[in-house]
């Protein structure tokens, strides 16, 4: 069996570890030795590296993948590796859909070069990669081959996020405004939020550093600054209701604390946690009304990244948001379960500014009418076997 391993690296993610791959000066490597001991003499392993910020190089890599998918035989694995942060992975999947590449022919994985790397940790490959590993091409190759020996294939849900606006609606990223007079389609693999994390993250992007460590410190600085100095709207102030099928869910007015952040999770273990928040968290009461369908605790199932369902949490207060920054807090009393949804839409009240985060990318929404969340597809991912973690 042959293996084609494509690495699409972002040289500016995190502490810019991807620049080391760029300095290797290598685009393709072919080994006439199998990674699993087969000595047939055939070209058993091919490694291809492409820079996502180099338009020509990126497009050449996409075309190569598309060609192999069209010509692929059943005995060749095509592995697509995102070397960057969570946002790099999402952009890679979205661009492959744009190139009309057959995703069913591919297996995806990730190398943690970003700041957060929640998705890579969900694949059990760790939150960060040692700089020693990327010091030399040989040590990096050993790490790549190790993934074949320790990896197993699983499935991951991909979700389509449609931001629907009107003539006066805008969606902005830092230093970039995108027109959404009709709609803007985004992709989610890991989780998304509305509220406080988006506010903090938007401020972080305006003050981003070249070092991952400095970015973490900047995030904490902005977190403290915003929490103690800035008045924030509650989610119920700008979310009118959440609609799934024939059910309309709204926040229970009896819950006086309200909610400063709405979290929608696909992958268990977000925020770098080693625990499954949904399964460990106790139901704290009736947060949505009416209590039926997606909001009925009796209908909830354990969290999986490939079950076609999304878990919804709420963070009630600024104090609770601070508590979630500390992984050693295991009771998770700062989180409230809201429901387990499939395809739904979030309807917004008019004339509000909303901050949204999707897989590490931060957006500012103004006068948005609604956000639609729908299951798009499933992709195969290469994760580390449980016994070899």
Instruction: Provide the CATH number for the domain around residue 150.
Output: 3.40.50
Q: How many domains does the chain have?
A: 2
Domain range for residue 277? 191-358
Residue 140, in any domain of the structure: yes
Residue tagged 């929404």 (tokens): 365
Task: Look at residue 7 in the predicted model and tell me its pLDDT.
Answer: 93
Higher pLDDT, 358 or 127: 358
Claim to verify: residue 59 and residue 198 sit in the same structural domain: no
Is 169 contained in some domain?
A: no
The total number of residues written for the chain in this structure: 389
Same domain, yes or no, for 354 and 384?
Answer: no
Q: pLDDT tens digit string along 257-314?
A: 668 889 999 987 665 555 567 777 766 556 788 888 898 888 899 989 999 999 998 8
**Strands 151-173 vs 176-179: parallel, antiparallel or unpaired:** antiparallel
| 205 lies in the same domain as 338 | yes
| 284 and 320 assigned to the same domain | yes
Instruction: Say if residue 208 is in the same domain as residue 107.
Output: no
More confident residue, 378 or 361: 378
Does residue 174 surpass a pLDDT of 80?
no
The tokens of 153 are what?
């294939």
Instruction: Tell me the pLDDT tens digit for each residue of 91-100.
Output: 999 999 999 9
pLDDT at 381: 93
What's the CA gap between 296 and 157, in Å, rounded? 23
Query: Quick check: 152 and 127 in contact, CB under 8 A?
Result: no
Quickly state the pLDDT bin for 41 (edges 50, 70, 90). Answer: very low
Which domain CATH number covers 324?
2.60.200
Candidate from 47-56, 264-273, 277-286, 366-375 with smallest mean pLDDT: 277-286
Looking at the fold, whether 139 and 225 belong to one and the same domain comes out as no
Rounded to a whole number, what is the largest CA-CA distance in the chain? Answer: 70
Query: Has residue 233 got a pLDDT over 90?
Result: no
Please give the pLDDT value at position 143.
Answer: 84
Q: Tell whether 384 and 347 lie within a shared domain.
A: no
Under a CB-based contact definition with an 8 Å cutoff, are residues 113 and 129 in contact?
yes
Whether 85 is covered by a domain: the verdict is yes
Taking residues 241-252, what's their average pLDDT?
A: 89
The Cα 317–Cα 351 span in angstroms is 23
Look at residue 286 in the predicted model and tell me its pLDDT.
63
Nearest Cα neighbor of 109 from 124, 131, 128 is 124
Q: What per-residue confidence (pLDDT) applies to 275?
A: 56
Please, are residues 6 and 81 in contact by the beta-carbon 8 Å criterion? yes
């Amino acid at each position: 069996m042959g293996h084609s391993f494509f690495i699409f690296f972002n040289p500016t993610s995190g502490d810019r570890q991807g620049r080391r791959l760029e300095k290797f000066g290598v685009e393709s490597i072919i080994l006439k030795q199998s990674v699993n001991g087969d000595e047939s003499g055939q070209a058993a392993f091919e490694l291809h590296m492409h820079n996502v910020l180099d338009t020509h190089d990126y497009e050449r890599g996409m075309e190569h993948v598309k060609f192999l998918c069209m010509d692929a035989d059943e005995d060749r694995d095509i592995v697509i590796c995102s070397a960057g942060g969570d946002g790099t992975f999402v952009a890679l999947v979205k661009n492959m859909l744009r190139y009309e590449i057959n995703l069913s022919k591919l297996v995806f994985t990730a190398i943690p070069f970003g700041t957060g790397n929640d998705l890579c940790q969900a694949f059990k490959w760790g939150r960060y990669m040692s700089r020693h590993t990327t010091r030399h091409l040989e040590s990096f190759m050993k790490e790549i081959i190790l993934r074949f020996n320790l990896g197993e294939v699983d499935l991951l849900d991909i979700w389509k996020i449609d931001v629907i606006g009107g003539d006066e609606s805008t969606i902005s990223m830092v230093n970039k405004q995108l027109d959404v007079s009709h709609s803007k389609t985004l992709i989610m693999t890991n989780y998304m939020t509305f509220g406080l994390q988006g506010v903090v993250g938007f401020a972080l992007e305006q003050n981003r550093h070249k070092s991952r460590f400095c970015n973490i410190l900047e995030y904490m600085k902005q977190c403290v600054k915003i929490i103690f100095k800035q008045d924030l709207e509650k989610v119920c102030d700008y979310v009118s209701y959440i609609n799934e099928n024939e059910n309309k869910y709204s926040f229970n007015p009896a819950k006086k604390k309200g909610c400063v952040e709405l979290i929608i999770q696909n992958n268990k273990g977000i925020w770098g946690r080693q625990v499954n928040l949904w399964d460990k968290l106790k139901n704290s009461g009736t947060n949505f009304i009416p209590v039926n369908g997606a909001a009925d605790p009796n209908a909830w199932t354990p969290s999986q990244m490939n079950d076609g369902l999304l878990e919804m949490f709420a963070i009630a207060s600024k104090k609770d948001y601070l508590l979630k920054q500390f992984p050693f807090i295991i009771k998770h009393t700062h989180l409230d379960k809201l429901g387990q949804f499939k395809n739904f839409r979030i309807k917004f009240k008019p004339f509000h500014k909303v901050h949204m985060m999707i897989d590490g990318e931060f957006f500012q929404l103004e006068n948005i009418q609604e956000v639609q969340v729908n299951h798009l597809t499933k992709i195969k991912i290469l994760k580390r076997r449980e016994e070899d973690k």
